[in-house]
Amino acid sequence: MRKKIVAGNWKMNKTFSEADDLINKIIELISDNNFDNVGVVLCPPFVYLELATDMTEDIEIAVAAQNVSNYEFGAYTGEISAPMLKSMDVEYCILGHSERRKYFNEDSKLLAEKVNILLKNDIIPIFCCGELLPEREAGNHFNIVEKQITDALWHLDSVQFKKIVLAYEPVWAIGTGVNATPEQAQEMHAFIRGIISTKYGAEVAENTTILYGGSCNSKNAKELFANPDVDGGLIGGASLKAEEFVKIIESF
Ligand code: PEP
């Protein structure tokens, strides 16, 4: 059975003491529950990764980075490498988020390099894809998502691809308060699973975790997660409050 995941993408939020407080509260709330059926992942900014991995050492919470360099080491001032992340027990890394595509010009070629470097260092990419509103309105959303996935991931062999987690995040839903309807999410997730099946076979497709992201919160999570091809969520704004984030986890 494929893994269910709820991952909290903090983006560029929280001071050190706020980060400490948020992780503490999440641990406190999660410790009271039994979340055997769902993996919880925290994605704080780089500077709090060590704090997060230290604080979650004794609890089933994984830590993800929000980005990684496409270089492994060397004279790249300001960059953070995959071996550095690995050495801090980081298990996952978000890639291809629409904000990085838009503000940092990340394209499929760069993302393919980052995917390779993460896999080489045994870190699981959470690969984001999703269309802009005009692309959906033009009926182009399936083509766009397919191209994002094929351009950045289709060079992988099936052993490598099995390690990927996908996140469908329609850009028009990110941070807008307008989530995809459960039907829209299910339709796209089923489409993504279908193209994976064509390329890598039914077994790989059945075992690939595909998360939904975009204004997912404690009110709509249950309906979204109830769909057969929606395996959890990548949560932005709603992951910044412990109670709200844990309610989303409880939606399974
Ligand atoms: C995100 O940025 O990954 C995201 C899903 O954001 P939000 O939940 O705030 O829409």
Average pLDDT, the chain: 97
Percent above pLDDT 90 for the chain: 96
- Test site for ligand 1: of 215, 217, 224, most ligand atoms within 8 A of the Cβ: 215
pTM: 0.98
Nearest ligand 1 atom, CA 215: 10
Our answer on whether the CB atom of 169 is closer than 6 Å to any ligand 1 atom is yes
What confidence category does residue 33 fall into, taking pLDDT thresholds of 50, 70 and 90? Answer: confident
pLDDT at 126 over 80: yes
pLDDT at 138 over 90: yes
What confidence category does residue 87 fall into, taking pLDDT thresholds of 50, 70 and 90? Answer: very high
pLDDT at 44 over 80: yes
Residue nearest to atom 1 of ligand 1 (CA): 236
pLDDT at 79 over 90: yes
Nearest ligand 1 atom, CA 98: 2
* Domains observed in the chain: 5-249 (3.20.20.70)
155 is catalytic: no
Contacts of residue 142, Cβ cutoff 8 Å, sequence gap at least 6: 188, 191
- Per annotation, catalytic residue among 106, 131, 169, 189: 169
Our answer on whether the CB atom of 52 is closer than 6 Å to any ligand 1 atom is no
What confidence category does residue 102 fall into, taking pLDDT thresholds of 50, 70 and 90? Answer: very high
* CA 67/CA 44 separation, integer angstroms: 10
141 is catalytic: no
* CA 222/CA 98 separation, integer angstroms: 24
Nearest ligand 1 atom, CA 174: 10
Strand pairing report for 92-95 and 39-43: unpaired
The predicted pLDDT at position 35 comes to 74
Our answer on whether the CB atom of 43 is closer than 6 Å to any ligand 1 atom is no
- Express each pLDDT in 152-185 by its tens digit: 999 999 999 999 999 999 999 999 999 999 999 9
- Give the Å distance between the CA of 174 and the centre of ligand 1: 5
| Beta bridge partners of residue 212, listed in sequence order | 168, 233
Residue nearest to atom 8 of ligand 1 (CA): 236
Our answer on whether the CB atom of 106 is closer than 6 Å to any ligand 1 atom is no
Our answer on whether the CB atom of 174 is closer than 6 Å to any ligand 1 atom is yes
* CA 74/CA 136 separation, integer angstroms: 41
- Express each pLDDT in 212-224 by its tens digit: 999 999 999 999 9
pLDDT at 37 over 90: no
Our answer on whether the CB atom of 175 is closer than 6 Å to any ligand 1 atom is yes
* CA 30/CA 133 separation, integer angstroms: 36
Our answer on whether the CB atom of 44 is closer than 6 Å to any ligand 1 atom is no
Q: Which two tokens stand for residue 150?
A: 């094929």
* CA 195/CA 187 separation, integer angstroms: 13
